[in-house]
Amino acid sequence: MCGWHCGSIGPIIAAALSNARLGRSALMTIQLRQICLVARELDSTIDDLEQVFGVQRCFVDPGVGRFGLVNTLLPIGRNFLEVVAPVEEHTAAGRYLDRRNGDGGYMVICQADSRTNQQAVRQRALDNGVRIAWEVDRENWNICQIHPGDMRAAFFEIDWDEVNDFDGNWHPAGGLQWQDKVDQSVTVDYAAVELQGPDPVGLAELWGKVAGLPVRREGATLHMALNNVDIRFVEAVDGRGYGLGGLDLKVVDRERVLAAAKQRDAYVTDDEVRVCGVRFRLIDAG
């Protein structure tokens, strides 16, 4: 229980709830394309993810070496799960591992439906005193990483490319070369992202302001809808403070996931497994 009630929510959230009741929708489309986790050990973490969720690695980006990292990507449906691991001292990822006392979620990486809307997110971040951590502006592909310290729970990355295909081209996964690695026989896609912290209301209000998307209340929990998933804001109860604490995955073979999780000491309940310090909630795909 996060212990908040309607009288305590901020004006941005109150306005968003009013908009939701009136049937208003967001004026832009933001698609979750990739989640990035951070781990001390890359290979063993990728092995766990492959075996538990029935997915396979699709791309390694040597470009992350500039940040003192190595990485591997796996397709989750036509979106992606990345794991990075520091291989040098004094990296941002290494500091994040220390701050959160171990492996965990690191980045929420999204694709905007237009360059204009991507730049609007960037400007809203600046307008709210949120720093841009890193950005690259190219003619056909722009990257904008919004600072995790200011966003509190994770990096918020918003990218744009001229192909503008939410199911296809994705430069961080090598363009289109990942498509023959898609396997949805066990795990189908993402369903939700869970961001946590001691102040979930303030966290939701901040992410809603920067994304330019409405926040809605369901019971005791605040949600912000992207094009394909919900971002859920909850109180941190695991002693790890702010962070990307959980992911909901749509699965078609729950028993296969649970059996593999038990073999790898990742089983929590019949609805949850834990890999790389992240709670993976299993949702039966309809």
Number of independent structural domains in the chain: 2
CA distances 59 to 74, 98, 112, Å, are 7, 27, 22
147 and 47 in a single domain? The answer is: yes
Which residue segment(s) compose the domain that 103 sits in? 30-181
Cα separation, 164 vs 141, in Å, equals 10
Whether 230 maps to a domain, the answer reads yes
212 and 170 in a single domain? The answer is: no
244 and 258 in a single domain? The answer is: yes
Whether 4 maps to a domain, the answer reads no
- Provide CB contacts within 8 A for 163, sequence distance 6+: 140, 169
75 and 175 in a single domain? The answer is: yes
pLDDT (average), residues 36-53: 99
Model confidence, pTM? 0.91
What digits encode the pLDDT tens for the residues 186-228? 999 999 999 999 999 999 999 999 999 999 999 999 999 999 9
103 and 149 in a single domain? The answer is: yes
pLDDT at 25: 41
Query: Do 125 and 210 meet the contact criterion of CB atoms below 8 Å apart?
Result: yes
- How many Cβ atoms from other residues are within 10 Å of residue 265's Cβ? 9
Whether 258 maps to a domain, the answer reads yes
pLDDT (average), residues 80-94: 98
Q: What percent of the chain has pLDDT over 70?
A: 91
Looking at per-residue pLDDT, the higher value among 50 and 8 belongs to 50
100 and 175 in a single domain? The answer is: yes
CATH of the domain at 208: 3.10.180.10
Q: How far from chain centre, in Å, is Cα 93? A: 16
pLDDT at 10: 56
Place of tokens 């200011």: 150
The residue among 126, 155, 181 that closes a domain is: 181
41 and 160 in a single domain? The answer is: yes
The residue among 139, 157, 181 that closes a domain is: 181
How long a stretch of residues is the chain? Answer: 286
What digits encode the pLDDT tens for the residues 97-107? 999 999 999 99
The residue among 161, 181, 201 that closes a domain is: 181
Whether 47 maps to a domain, the answer reads yes
Mean per-residue pLDDT of the chain: 92
